[in-house]
Structure 1
Amino acid sequence: MTNESQATVYDVVIVGAGPSGAVAAKRLAEEGMSVICLEQGGYPDYTKLRHSGLEFELTKQQHFATNPNRRRAPSDYPIDVSDSDIEPLMWNGVGGSSVLYAAAWHRLKPSDFRVRSVDGIADDWPLSYAELEPFYARVENDFAVSGVGGDPAYPPGFDIPLPPFPMGAMERKFASAHDRLGWHWWPGSNSIATVKHNGLLPCVRRGACTWGCFDGAKASVDRTHWPACIKLGVKLVQNARVLRVETGADGLATGVTYVDRESGATHFQPGRAVIVSANGIGTPRLLLNSASNRHPDGLGNSSGLVGKRLMMHPYGTVTGLFDDFFENWQGPYGQRAYSLEFAETRKDTNFYRGAKWQLMGMGGPLASVGSWPWGSSDDVWGENFHDTVHKRFGRSAYWGIMAEDLPNEENMVTLDPDVTDAQGMAAVKVTYKASQNTVDLLNYNVTRASESMREAGAYEVAGTPLMRETGWHILGTVRMGKDPGNSVVDAFGRSHDVPNLFVMDGSVMPTSGAVNPTGTVTALALRNAESIIANRRSQPVSQAAEARKVGH
């Protein structure tokens, strides 16, 4: 039975307390709007981390595993990946996947907004780099981005608010190698504080970024945004699994129905507008599950594109062994340096678009015998064990190769017809196959990155063109565009079909670029929130939501 008692009507109901939901909630609340956010998980329990103990490498996957199918926390839901080349990775809780991201921070390049115009494939965005640039700058300050400004791969004006991490011997070796090759490189930019900033403490370089930051240096929004949101009056409801976005007779959103996972009670939360920020899998799942007589194929899905065009940044690695001893277990884990030399379409290749390379730390002793990033661990145990650890620990480096993923309607998120989560909501099936363009792109970049490794002095180099558990970036399943016939939302995240329904997360991206997307999705969320504020007086509101009070 649905409990509707004491149902306050909020100006905005937000689904999801990750980066986009947090950015939107904070900005809307700053303007005096009443905001409630429903999150299917709770706050991360950092006391379960043992970063400083010898057992950390053995225990890090117990509570903070990136794969929800392995983690199986109460806040997670089943995802069928039997027909997917890549497994999606995420964190379901306050902070969203910023709790586990490596924190490498980028902007898209101007050409990434104009792929159709530049290369004649995929689509142009309904906005430009110039339109998003001021919002990039604002979120970079909020997310404590550290690094070196002025990367020549970008237009002038990409300044970095916090000072960089010092370059170590490993980074300097690759910088010299790329200088000799005439290839682009730049010091890593990361949303990790190097000095006190926005409630964060300076990084102590444990190199454990992707298992939660115990020290409070990484900019996950449970630390950077939610404390401010709560002070501003935003109501955050934890352990609330949203089942449906409801609509009234006028076709407008009236609010959401959710289950309190702890009590099992079902509630209706009315709102004048609804923002869905549940990532590129959770958002289409919710919209498809919100089908009704008026929206038989899912809410906001008149185009038929909800769940279609999934992009997950296929990822390869190139590892190298060196005679030099680097302190390569130190942080930041995600990005010591990067190269955009091969991030655009090149006339001398048989594929479109390109990849970003990020120079990574290798982790501790146990990481030197794991499958990541080496591609295989079959030959490291037994009599080879000690020799392998000696060769790899402190004497290795790797390029992570992040490929631009082109949209394909056959790559998709659908509802599972046979499996539900613990609250009875349909689970998810992910269908994803790497295209021939992706295969060719990764093979080419593995070859080039191997050249970089050798030029830097590696005596042994190995490459893996496609790693399976690398779906950190889940993009494209609720495409934005100008034409309601071939897109789901407009340039401000507003549903073409339901004008008081918004989507703010990576699912709206028409193309993926070749860089980490958090900077872009948060800049979009800030821009979209500003649009809601500017148009609040003319915002369509369902009369059913306004009337949904006790006794009505």
Structure 2
Amino acid sequence: MGGGTSAGVAAKHLAGAGFKVVCLEQGTWVDPGELPGNKPEYEVLGSKDWHPSPNVRGRREDYPVDTTDADLPVWMYNGVGGSSVLYGGIWARPLPADFRVRTLDGVADDWPIAYDELLPYYQAVEREMSVAGLAGNPAYPPGFEPPLPAAPIHRTGLLMAEGMNRLGWHWWPGTNAIPTESRGHEGKCVRYAICRMGCPEGAKSSTDVTHWRDAESLGAKVITRARVARVTLDERGRANGAVYLRDGREYFQAASMVLMAAGGIGTPRLLLMSASDRFPDGLANSSGLVGKRLMLHPYAVSVGVYDDDLENWLGPAGEHIGSMQFYETDTSRGFVRGAKWSLLPIAGPLEAAEKWTDRSSLSGEELWGEGSADRMKSFVRMLQWHVVPEDLPEETNFVALHPSLTDSDGLPAAKVRYRVSDNTNKIIDFHLARTLEAHEAAGAQKTWIAGRNFMTGHNTGTAKMGDDPATSVVDRFGRAHDVPNLYVIDASVFTTSTGVNPTATICALAKRTATYIASNARELEVAS
């Protein structure tokens, strides 16, 4: 169910192992020629037709998401490749401690798996996703060796690295799923620097490029414009397929096994829509946790304006350098957990304008009026630190079905309730203050906090992984406790959000589950 990031990884693996794979995707294939990155009006296109919010895009395949009770909007992309089409390409693994926060810090829950168990799957998907970077990052244990050479450090990164060195703080060249060499269906990065709006050259590792084409050649079938209405069960309570709507007509796709891959918003929505007499509160929801514990990584931004043209318009974008200096818990700071920093370019004059004028910006200046043209032009001299805070799970943050709002097929929209916690706000406050110090150490002529509670698309935690069926939705392999042939393979299963971008872990978990299914097929339960 769903043709995005995790689905691509699993479909290619399973099709290659001889399984018959059918994917139901409510969106369509992306035409690279329509992507904004190589067009002069790229920022205008990215603000509507290619905006990461479904509420802004408003395409037929986009179901509405009511965020009136949320502190930030929700990002996602519906189509083959899913949100990997519009992500920035940043590739970050969590640290081993991220899987043990209950043990180490007394908060949330430990994952039922450890970093070492995921290590071979991280390594496998890093090869599949053409991850480029420099081995030896001292923040990580041994075993993080990106398969492709790192891109040269951008002028922006060199400048900031000098500042970080003056402070004695950790930094490392960016690790990104942006190939520095042509391989497979991917071309070498041509430096458009608009990775967050999709790559028209196929030089960013989105799974429509890296996995789905190969999956189809191995026999997988992708049915596009197929909006799933509900997952169905046989008389034994096993998932035996799905009802979907396509061009106004209802169809049924039979299955012996069902994998949910609709994302941290879409998967709980679909499970809740699949309520039945056997599961009146939603499919696989005996724990009551389907849709609960939503985590969104409400990121924050600080900006510095520098003296020289930093060639922000040259790619790759992704992360120019990153820092995990303050990633781990230090209780003297007054909070638990931490955040990763990513140094990013400013995409263009419209994004520069946002940094001056966002309602939470503390620039102290109006964009318009005297000097406005200079402020618009300043994007080539601007750097931004993105702070990704670890967002701990709370059952009061959730995805539910909207009582009245529907999508274009009449199915219930998603309603999100999300509040940024006190602990998360303390993380953000501390880290923003440190990033301003980094800007100053790097020689910025002006620095400010450009905003907080920005949306990330890091929608996690809404079908929690765990060993106990009373306190989790799926087991350590993503298999639903209540329905033994139903698996969840997307970010919904995250026990905690970690403090890094989730794509690496999404892919590794999907690879692990697909490997488990392929290796144990004869012993696993299937539908009648």
TM range (shorter): over 0.9
Select the residue among 83, 92, 105 that pairs with 1:106. 92
Would you say the 8 A contact 1:330–1:363 is kept in 2? no
Select the residue among 504, 515, 525 that pairs with 2:500. 515
- 1:373 offset after TM fit, Å? 9.1
- 1:372 offset after TM fit, Å? 7.7
The reply to whether residue 420 of structure 1 matches residue 406 of structure 2 is yes
Per the alignment, residue 10 of structure 1 pairs with: none
- 1:363 offset after TM fit, Å? 1.8
* Shift >6 Å, 4+ stretches: none
The reply to whether residue 441 of structure 1 matches residue 427 of structure 2 is yes
Select the residue among 276, 282, 296 that pairs with 1:312. 296
> Could you tell me how far apart the structure 1 residues matched to 2:350 and 2:291 are?
38
Per the alignment, residue 491 of structure 1 pairs with: 476
What SS class does the counterpart of residue 400 from structure 2 fall into? strand
> Could you tell me how far apart the structure 2 residues matched to 1:154 and 1:133 are?
12
Question: How many residues in Structure 1 have an aligned counterpart in Structure 2?
Answer: 525
- 1:452 offset after TM fit, Å? 0.6
The reply to whether residue 153 of structure 1 matches residue 121 of structure 2 is no
Per the alignment, residue 11 of structure 1 pairs with: none
Per the alignment, residue 199 of structure 2 pairs with: 213
> Could you tell me how far apart the structure 2 residues matched to 1:393 and 1:327 are?
9
The reply to whether residue 77 of structure 1 matches residue 63 of structure 2 is yes
Unaligned runs of 5+ in 2: none
Per the alignment, residue 441 of structure 2 pairs with: 455
Would you say the 8 A contact 2:303–2:355 is kept in 1? no
Would you say the 8 A contact 1:288–1:415 is kept in 2? yes
The reply to whether residue 89 of structure 1 matches residue 75 of structure 2 is yes
Per the alignment, residue 506 of structure 1 pairs with: 491
The reply to whether residue 369 of structure 1 matches residue 353 of structure 2 is yes
Select the residue among 311, 322, 327 that pairs with 1:327. 311
Select the residue among 95, 98, 102 that pairs with 1:116. 102
Per the alignment, residue 386 of structure 1 pairs with: 373
> Could you tell me how far apart the structure 2 residues matched to 1:54 and 1:69 are?
25
- 1:158 offset after TM fit, Å? 0.4
Per the alignment, residue 4 of structure 2 pairs with: 18
Select the residue among 137, 158, 170 that pairs with 2:156. 170
> Could you tell me how far apart the structure 1 residues matched to 2:265 and 2:138 are?
34
Per the alignment, residue 237 of structure 2 pairs with: 251
Q: What do the CA deviations read for 1:472-513 (whole angstroms, capped 9, x no partner)?
A: 100000000000000000000000000000000001000011
Written as runs of structure 1 = structure 2, the 5 A alignment for 1:269-348 is: 269-348=253-332
- 1:170 offset after TM fit, Å? 1.9
> Could you tell me how far apart the structure 2 residues matched to 1:540 and 1:158 are?
35
More divergent stretch after superposition (334-343 vs 360-369): 360-369
- 1:32 offset after TM fit, Å? 0.6
Unaligned runs of 5+ in 1: 1-14, 544-552
Would you say the 8 A contact 1:337–1:358 is kept in 2? yes
Q: What do the CA deviations read for 1:123-170 (whole angstroms, capped 9, x no partner)?
A: 100101000000000000110101111111110110011111111322
Q: What do the CA deviations read for 1:48-89 (whole angstroms, capped 9, x no partner)?
A: 234334322333333211111010011000110000001110
What SS class does the counterpart of residue 70 from structure 1 fall into? helix
> Could you tell me how far apart the structure 1 residues matched to 2:165 and 2:13 are?
43
Would you say the 8 A contact 1:317–1:373 is kept in 2? no
Among all aligned residue pairs of Structure 1 and Structure 2, give the percentage whose two residues are the same amino acid: 47
Per the alignment, residue 344 of structure 2 pairs with: 360
Cα distance, 1:471–1:439 mapped onto 2, change above 3 Å: same
> Could you tell me how far apart the structure 1 residues matched to 2:487 and 2:496 are?
19
Written as runs of structure 1 = structure 2, the 5 A alignment for 1:36-55 is: 36-55=22-41
What SS class does the counterpart of residue 496 from structure 1 fall into? coil
More divergent stretch after superposition (275-284 vs 42-51): 42-51
> Could you tell me how far apart the structure 1 residues matched to 2:265 and 2:191 are?
32
Per the alignment, residue 523 of structure 2 pairs with: 538
User: What amino acid does structure 2 have at the position aligned with 1:304?
Assistant: G
What SS class does the counterpart of residue 255 from structure 2 fall into? strand
What SS class does the counterpart of residue 80 from structure 1 fall into? strand
> Could you tell me how far apart the structure 1 residues matched to 2:124 and 2:35 are?
31
Cα distance, 1:440–1:65 mapped onto 2, change above 3 Å: same
Q: What do the CA deviations read for 1:503-542 (whole angstroms, capped 9, x no partner)?
A: 0000100001111101001100010011111221112122
User: What amino acid does structure 1 have at the position aligned with 2:349?
Assistant: P
RMSD value over aligned CA atoms? 1.4
What SS class does the counterpart of residue 107 from structure 2 fall into? coil
- 1:465 offset after TM fit, Å? 5.3
Would you say the 8 A contact 1:140–1:160 is kept in 2? yes
Per the alignment, residue 221 of structure 2 pairs with: 235
Would you say the 8 A contact 2:34–2:200 is kept in 1? no
Q: What do the CA deviations read for 1:259-315 (whole angstroms, capped 9, x no partner)?
A: 11x2x1111111100000000000000000100011010000000000000000110
> Could you tell me how far apart the structure 1 residues matched to 2:237 and 2:38 are?
54
User: What amino acid does structure 2 have at the position aligned with 1:488?
Assistant: V
> Could you tell me how far apart the structure 2 residues matched to 1:193 and 1:287 are?
36
User: What amino acid does structure 2 have at the position aligned with 1:361?
Assistant: P
> Could you tell me how far apart the structure 1 residues matched to 2:303 and 2:267 are?
36
> Could you tell me how far apart the structure 2 residues matched to 1:193 and 1:315 are?
26
Select the residue among 415, 418, 436 that pairs with 1:429. 415
Would you say the 8 A contact 1:198–1:224 is kept in 2? yes
The reply to whether residue 67 of structure 1 matches residue 53 of structure 2 is yes
